[in-house]
Every structure is written in structure tokens, then in C-alpha cells.
Structure 1
Amino acid sequence: MRHLGRLLAVLALGVLCLQLWFAGRIALMNVIAPQSTSFQRSEALRLLKDKQQVPWAQSWVDDAQLPRTLKRAVIASEDDSFAQHGGVDWDALKGAWKKNEKAQARVEARGKGVAKVIGGSTITQQLAKNLFLSGERTLLRKGQELVLTLMLEALLSKQRILEIYLNSVEWGEGLFGAQAAAWHYFRMDVSRLGAFEAARLAVMLPAPKRFERQPGSAYVINRAGLIVGRMNSAQLP
């Protein structure tokens, strides 16, 4: 029992040290932009393995140069309560859970196919996952994501969270951040994006690798039109 107690104490100390390391990294992000994220590094390794090269485009743009149109479009599309919640939108998670249960029930009734999983993650949760975590889906990883989400909300302003997110999120294979996306898809600087271009970029965020093949598809165009209609009511932090 004594050895077990010591082992548990060492494990608890290790977990505490890990959380303090995460907290320190996040606190530094107030003044130093992250050079890369865990997701970006894993993507670089995948590209190197699959293609023997790493096509890459990313360029940091400060918050003042990120247009309000893009911020409103992303909030309207991805997380319309971003300015109000504390990192987790519990109502959105509950709604996603119910939709996933219904979808799974329909698949089981047909006896074939795979249910499409609908996420309820906020912008802050997506940033926490991309910055520090792997893509595996386990209860332990989800628990760590929640802790990181709360750390981000406690140690960074909403403006800084959105700034880091827009500069690091994936917009295609080897394509990261709003500046690289604006140039790749529209051949313009991100600061010049109009409402419709911003909405088209926002629509791509749930599945950028799929949408990059047809960035002007009927779905993207129609969905972007809906986002444009919601942008004026999107609250900026």
C-alpha cells in the first residue's frame, strides 16, 4: 500500500506539473504568438511521410489587420455565442449530442452506413485541441481539452483567442491561417476580404480538406449566403 501511495503521489505530481507547463505556455501567448501547433506538426509529419515534401503556407497577421468581416463570419458560422460563453457552450454540446443520437438510431434502423458526427465545440475548444493535443478521441483527451479550454479563457482575452485561432486554423492541406487562405483562394490580402469572401472561408472551416477541392461548390456558395445574412448579428469580443 505504501508503494501504491507513492506511485499515485508521483502520478499526481506529474499531472500537476503538466498542467502548470500548459498554463505557462498559454500565459506566454499574451505576448508571444505560437510558432506552431500540435496539429500543424502532426500534419507536417504526415505530408513528409505521404508526399516526401511539406507544402506549407502560413503568415501571421496581427488582430488589427484581421477584418471585422472575417471575425463576424467565423463567429456566425462556428460559434455564435463566442463572446458570451466561458469556453464551453453547454447548450450547443447538448444539441449536438441529441442530433448524433438520432443520426445513429437512423443508421442502426437501416442496418448500414455510418452516422455523421456533429460537433458542438467552441472556437476556444478547437484552439485548445489544435494547440496542444492529438487527434485521438478518448475520455482522457476530452478531459484535458476541457482543462486547456478553461485555461485559455482565464489567461487570454477573447480577442487574443480569436486572433490566434484565425492565424493557426487549417484552411486546406498545408494551408494555415487567414492570410494564407485569403491569398490562396482569392489572391488578395486578408484585410481586403469582403463579406461574401469572408463567409466562404468561414464555411470551409469544419472540413477544409474536403472543401478546398471545390471552394466554389453550390453548397459553399449557398451556405456562405446564409452566413452573410447572420454576420451583422454576430457579436465581436
Structure 2
Amino acid sequence: MRVGVVTFPGTLDDRDALRAVRIAGAEPVALWHGDDELADVQAVVLPGGFSYGDYLRAGAISRFAPVMEKVVDAANGGMPVLGICNGFQVLCETHLLPGAMIKNAHRSFICRDQPLRVENTRTAWTSDYQQDQVIRVPLKNQDGQYVSDERTLSQLEDEGRVVFRYAAGATHGPAGFESNPNGSRNDIAGVTNAAGNVVGLMPHPEHAVEAGFGPDEPGAGTRTGTDGLGVFTSVLRSLVA
């Protein structure tokens, strides 16, 4: 199976995402923002970074990249699409996902290992997790506060479309933001579209895919660091289902 990873000017985590795809067992395919086709991939990842320098708004320029026209069409046709951090912002800007990402409530860049609770295991990107499982993956952002109008927020909650929620257990961060690192509404860390094939999240599962190199579980005595791998194995499972 072929999983594409898009690189925009200013993307930082494309190589990490390509590596995560390979470790999960798929063939990683590098896609360029100027591409006008998707190279026969079966899923797409929009990785983290600061595409186009985050000028105007984070993700606001990337939505007009030629490759995004193909990604939007493919997503609307059912192809699994994942947006991580800046990729989540791009998905919101394209309206593949509802809501918007704004500056962190504490107005500071944050970088830490972040516990997440898995709220929805029915998406293309989360089926390898257990309901309410708490995982730990790196988080790094300055525009990570998820907001939406009350009607959209209620719809997301009522339809079970909150995929990841920030959980307690972070070891450091700005005062008052120990659990919710950026002030996101309802502690939302990730959401899905109604069909479940498009998912966006702010934390970085691609940085927690190999034992010994990702976040460790406090008190466990050993470093596992693979909590993010399930995101990438889940989509492979969904493609063969």
C-alpha cells in the first residue's frame, strides 16, 4: 500500500511522517505541494511544520497549493487523509474539517510529551486503539488552540467526532495549562469528518513510532515510545478491510 506525504515550503516533519509510514508497513510516497496528481497513493498525510511561514494564518496559503485540489477531491471520495499539527490547520482551512486553529491561549510556543485520550476508534486512523485508551505523543505548536462556534462544537460532541482529547498527566507546561496545553475548546486535540476518513490532530504521532525514541510512560521503568504507531497501522488496516 502506498501512503503519500505532502511537503509544502516550510514543512518540517515530512521525513518523520514518511518514516512512520514505512515502519507501519506501507510504501511511503513523497508528494510535492505543486503536484497536480497523487501518484496512485491510497492515503495521504499532511505533516507538521510552518507551511509558507504561517503567513496570513497557519495553513491559509497551503489550501491553495495545486496538490490540495487533488487531496480535497480524493478525501471527498473516501480516501483516508490525516493532518498533523500544521496539516490539521490546512484541513480546517480547506473545510475538510470544521473549526479553526488560533494562537495558544497562553500566547507561547509549547513543546512537551502530551497524554491524549482516544475518544473515537471508528475512524480510518484510530481503529488499532482501544476506546478511552490514553496514549502519549509529542506536542509542539504555537497555533494549537482549537475553536469553533457552539453549534459546530455541539455537533462534533453529539456525533462522536472528537477523536482525541487532551488528558491529564503532562509533566510540564505553562501554569494553568497542565492538562489542556493550548486552551482548546472542550480539550479537543483532534476531530474527524462525518465519514471518518479525514482526521486532524495537533500532537505528533509520527514522533512516537519506534521503541526507545518516543515518549516514555512515567513510572513504567522502560521507554516504549510507540504510542503513535497505531495511527499509521490503523489506516493500513482500513485499506484492506
State the TM bucket, normalised to the shorter chain.
Answer: under 0.3
Decide which structure has greater helix share.
1
Taking structure 2 as the reference length, the TM-score comes to 0.25
Decide which structure has greater strand share.
2
Taking structure 1 as the reference length, the TM-score comes to 0.25
Q: Which has the higher contact order (CA 8 A, sep 6+)?
A: 1
